[in-house]
Structure 1
Amino acid sequence: MKTPQTLFCERVLLPEGWTSDVMIGIDDGGMIVSIQPGRTRDADSMLAAGPVVPALQNLHSHAFQRAMAGLAEKSGSTDDSFWTWRETMYRLVERMSPDDVEVVATKLYSELLKGGFGHVVEFHYFHHAVTGSGRSDGFEMSARILRAAETAGIGLTHLPVFYAHAGFGGIAPNDGQKPFIHSVDGFLSLLERLAPECKAVGARLGLAIHSIRAATPDEMRVILSSEHTGGPIHIHVAEQEREVEDCLAWSGRRPVEYLLDEMPVDGRWCAIHATHMTPDETMRLARSGAVAGLCPATEANLGDGIFPATDFAAQAGAYGIGTDSHVATSVAEELRLLEYSQRLRDRRRNRLAAGPGTSSGRTVFDAVLKGGAQAAGQQTSGIHIGARADLVVLDGSNPFVGTSTGDQVLDRWLFALGSEAVRDVMAGGQWVVQDGRHRNEDEINRAFREVLLKLA
């Protein structure tokens, strides 16, 4: 598809705020090369069919889990939790081939684009899928993720995950975890092999450590002292109360406390979930410069708890959003749940708004745009010269959108409309979604349907 050279926006959210009559120039590589306010549309430019905002970064994805959305909603014989949900996930993994994973990831990424995301950070720990001759190696499975992102047209930060143990203190992995496991040497070799592959397709490469319970301190230190730590570093931490209890029993410290005490946490890091923190941990994580990676829909689905977002934001902590297990795939649903969870806990409204008279939607949108860019390893965020052209066009024909002014556009999208407000999405200068449909929608849906039938 031909890259548009200029896009005329009657209203666009730039870093300095809402701006009218802006001409955006985009080069053949999909980068923004000019932004000119106060212009009139010329005959050669494309017209954005509604207000334009930056596409957000999804900072936490396990793509294969989209195939199990809705399959863990049947009550078990005990109190259901993350730990019972995990057994359903293990059973799914044992039935998925590399081909299946690629199809599911492609479908997911097309849905994320339709939901208003332009970039995804794939926290990839499904390294060894079942094949006709045994199990795939980690390189093949990562290559499938790279190909899925390329087919869908979404920007990608790829994070292969080090996962070695079933619990704190180096407990041997159980059978359900075998598709995820690496040795330290094997993991570092995988990163070395992936570096040129990611560069060739324009994907960023970082790394992740699954969790403190899945890697020993010595293993973590070897990985973090390697030459492969120039990109983002992500880790699950303090997602469940049992994890906190087990960490206390093992180390005498809580997970976030232990991580900050023992590891070189800084702005490269993203602490995924970080749900269960004391006020001191909240303050220390905020001051570390790391991003808190929040996944409100998944955290609600699993019954994990509520992140202390108001306290974290008050400490100037950076945060972003992801969709994790992908029970939801839209910007609006994640941001709505983030704000609403704070309201339900506090029994007050507009908890994350920057101050009196400010918009809750604008506050959280700006915050997750900045935090998401940091967690994805991007230098800057938003619509500016030198940035990748990742843009969302909201539907100007929708009465709510068309009659809104300023930040009302965001508030109505995020709190009243959801994905129905997303009309067109550009990723890397290419229109990947137009009129609410992905450019390869029919083909992607056919392949996805076949995989679901196989897994049923």
Structure 2
Amino acid sequence: MAMLHAKSLLGEHGWQKNVRLSVENGKIANLETGVSPAPDDECHAVIVPSMPNLHSHAFQRAMAGLAEMRSTGSDSFWSWRTNMYHFALSMTPDDVEAVASQLYMEMLEAGFSRVGEFHYLHHDRDGTPFANIGEMADRVASAAASTGIDLTLLPVFYAHAGFGGTAPSEGQRRFINSVEQFEKLIAACNATAQNHDGMIVGVAPHSLRAATPDELARVTKMVGSNPIHIHIAEQLLEVNDCINWSGQRPVEWLLDHADLSNQWCLVHATHMTEDETIRMARAGAIAGLCPITEGNLGDGTFPAETFLANGGLFGIGSDSNVQISIPSELRQLEYSQRLHHNSRNAIANVSSSTGRTIFDHALKGGARALATDYGIAAGKTANFVSLDTSEASYLSGDHILDAWIFAETIKVDDVWVRGRKVVTQGRHIARGQIAPKFQQTMKNLLAK
């Protein structure tokens, strides 16, 4: 049993002072408040819950910083996607594992403790399935296990290049499965999960353009009550193409043809009407927001004010993994609303801390989207973060979160996942082994 003491701790019912917590078998066994540390306690100034990262494409970490050159024409999501396909087609299973390990290490150092891996790089470089159809998924699971991050694996069903069952392009050959192949992939992923503590297997129909209505209905039934994630309404071209195909906008179509609930996470959902936004919120579907990527790709601004006013839940993800940062994701979200509404403190309620408001929302919505518990309380999974407040020791309560998110004068110090400390003083315990392998992998990829 490990014993820790925090001068301040953000628990289920708010900030608590002088807290001792005991950790046993990956769970928080007990919390005592208003007590002094025992001689052998590990002492920290501030402890807060760790954050779920609900949307990641691990292999795209290899592109970080390599897609910022303007082409001869106008750049867009679609020109960026061409570059992404180049990397996707060149990576071996060893490459994917090395890149995913680097990424998951960085996520842990940032204060994330579980990742929702929206995994669609399934086959060999020529598009042929591996002898083990779950080979690439196994490499992702291995990267998660070796770094210590919890994993909600979301195998992606991808069958078409466009709405109405358009044949896939050559650049998509590593993603494509029939429904029958995909069912075998889900079975392989479930078998892998049996050997990884805390691993959850959901499903991710890539988008409405990548799956026909019949395929969507079939694949979403393959995981029981586990998470269902889908890209939706990220780009205006996608919205227009969906209208041309069905007469409806993407979120509108999904609301009318799928049984949306809090089992679903709609990733991006950027371009919605007010009616779609209200209906999505009331259906309980989680908004999977990736503010840094959405800004990087020029996607647009999520209608957060209307969504939250109608009881909607959101979580955050790092998507293309161009930057891994909890404060930056949350700050970008809030600033996008300030720019859109020409106001300050756009998401917070009256007399509430903006940092605390968006942190709490992302914590709750992200956990729901990844089918995990959250928060610091007896019986909960021992996933939490200590913060280095040495540069702002004068702060207390919600001002700590405000300073972390908006000023970044506060940093992540230590991180625990299932009671195991995997980050110490901001550095992952295996960084010395993981980072050099990633560096060599990147050199090899760029030489191809």
TM-score tier (shorter): over 0.9
Map of 2:357 onto structure 1:
363
- In the alignment, is the contact (CA less than 8 A) between 1:130 and 1:136 conserved in 2? no
In structure 2, which of residues 61, 69, 75 is the aligned counterpart of residue 74 of structure 1?
69
| 1:423 to 2:413 alignment | yes
Query: How do residues 326-405 of structure 1 correspond to structure 2 at under 5 angstroms?
Result: 326-355=321-350, 357-378=351-372, 380-397=373-390, 399-400=391-392, 402-405=393-396
- In the alignment, is the contact (CA less than 8 A) between 1:98 and 1:131 conserved in 2? no
Between the aligned partners of 2:318 and 2:188, the Cα distance in structure 1 is: 28
Map of 2:234 onto structure 1:
239
Distance 1:130 1:212, change over 3 A: same
TM-score of the two chains, using structure 1 as the length reference: 0.95
| 1:15 to 2:12 alignment | yes
Q: CA deviation at 1:137?
A: 4.9
Map of 1:95 onto structure 2:
90
Q: Cα deviation per residue 1:191-218 (whole Å; 9 max; x = unaligned)?
A: 1222132132120111111000000001
Query: How do residues 311-330 of structure 1 correspond to structure 2 at under 5 angstroms?
Result: 311-330=306-325
Q: CA deviation at 1:130?
A: 2.9
Between the aligned partners of 2:298 and 2:347, the Cα distance in structure 1 is: 22
Map of 1:181 onto structure 2:
176
Q: CA deviation at 1:345?
A: 1.0
TM-score of the two chains, using structure 2 as the length reference: 0.97
Q: Cα deviation per residue 1:329-350 (whole Å; 9 max; x = unaligned)?
A: 0101100000000011111100
- In the alignment, is the contact (CA less than 8 A) between 1:240 and 1:276 conserved in 2? yes
Partner SS for 1:305: coil
Which shifted more, 385-394 or 136-145?
136-145
| 1:294 to 2:285 alignment | no
Q: CA deviation at 1:138?
A: 3.6
Q: Which runs of 5+ in 1 are unaligned?
A: none
Between the aligned partners of 2:220 and 2:445, the Cα distance in structure 1 is: 37
Letter aligned with residue 372 of structure 1:
G
Letter aligned with residue 225 of structure 2:
G
Q: CA deviation at 1:387?
A: 1.4
Q: CA deviation at 1:133?
A: 9.3
- In the alignment, is the contact (CA less than 8 A) between 1:57 and 1:117 conserved in 2? yes
Q: Cα deviation per residue 1:92-142 (whole Å; 9 max; x = unaligned)?
A: 111110000000000000101111111111010111143999857540100
Q: CA deviation at 1:439?
A: 0.3
Dislocated runs of 4+, deviation >2 Å = 129-138
Q: CA deviation at 1:246?
A: 0.1
Between the aligned partners of 2:90 and 2:166, the Cα distance in structure 1 is: 25
Between the aligned partners of 2:20 and 2:131, the Cα distance in structure 1 is: 48
Partner SS for 2:195: helix
Letter aligned with residue 15 of structure 1:
E
Between the aligned partners of 2:367 and 2:131, the Cα distance in structure 1 is: 32
- In the alignment, is the contact (CA less than 8 A) between 1:97 and 1:131 conserved in 2? no
Between the aligned partners of 1:115 and 1:201, the Cα distance in structure 2 is: 23
Letter aligned with residue 257 of structure 2:
E
Between the aligned partners of 2:98 and 2:63, the Cα distance in structure 1 is: 14
Map of 2:189 onto structure 1:
194
Distance 1:416 1:425, change over 3 A: same
Map of 2:422 onto structure 1:
432
Partner SS for 2:407: helix
Distance 1:182 1:134, change over 3 A: closer
Distance 1:283 1:132, change over 3 A: closer
Letter aligned with residue 425 of structure 2:
D
Q: CA deviation at 1:224?
A: 2.5
Q: CA deviation at 1:367?
A: 0.4
- In the alignment, is the contact (CA less than 8 A) between 1:207 and 1:229 conserved in 2? no
Letter aligned with residue 380 of structure 2:
A
- In the alignment, is the contact (CA less than 8 A) between 1:276 and 1:307 conserved in 2? yes
In structure 2, which of residues 392, 404, 421 is the aligned counterpart of residue 413 of structure 1?
404
Percent identity at matched positions? 48
Q: CA deviation at 1:396?
A: 2.9
- In the alignment, is the contact (CA less than 8 A) between 2:327 and 2:404 conserved in 1? yes
In structure 2, which of residues 212, 226, 232 is the aligned counterpart of residue 216 of structure 1?
212
- In the alignment, is the contact (CA less than 8 A) between 1:129 and 1:136 conserved in 2? no
Q: CA deviation at 1:264?
A: 1.1
Map of 1:127 onto structure 2:
122
- In the alignment, is the contact (CA less than 8 A) between 2:268 and 2:289 conserved in 1? yes
Letter aligned with residue 423 of structure 2:
V
Q: CA deviation at 1:188?
A: 1.0
Which shifted more, 36-45 or 92-101?
36-45
Letter aligned with residue 204 of structure 2:
A
Q: How many residues align?
A: 445
In structure 1, which of residues 26, 30, 42 is the aligned counterpart of residue 23 of structure 2?
26
- In the alignment, is the contact (CA less than 8 A) between 1:292 and 1:318 conserved in 2? yes
Partner SS for 1:200: coil
Q: Cα deviation per residue 1:225-246 (whole Å; 9 max; x = unaligned)?
A: 34x2321000000000000000
Map of 2:437 onto structure 1:
447
Letter aligned with residue 251 of structure 2:
V
Between the aligned partners of 2:72 and 2:260, the Cα distance in structure 1 is: 40
CA RMSD of aligned residues (A): 1.5
- In the alignment, is the contact (CA less than 8 A) between 2:203 and 2:219 conserved in 1? no
Q: CA deviation at 1:427?
A: 1.1
Letter aligned with residue 416 of structure 1:
A
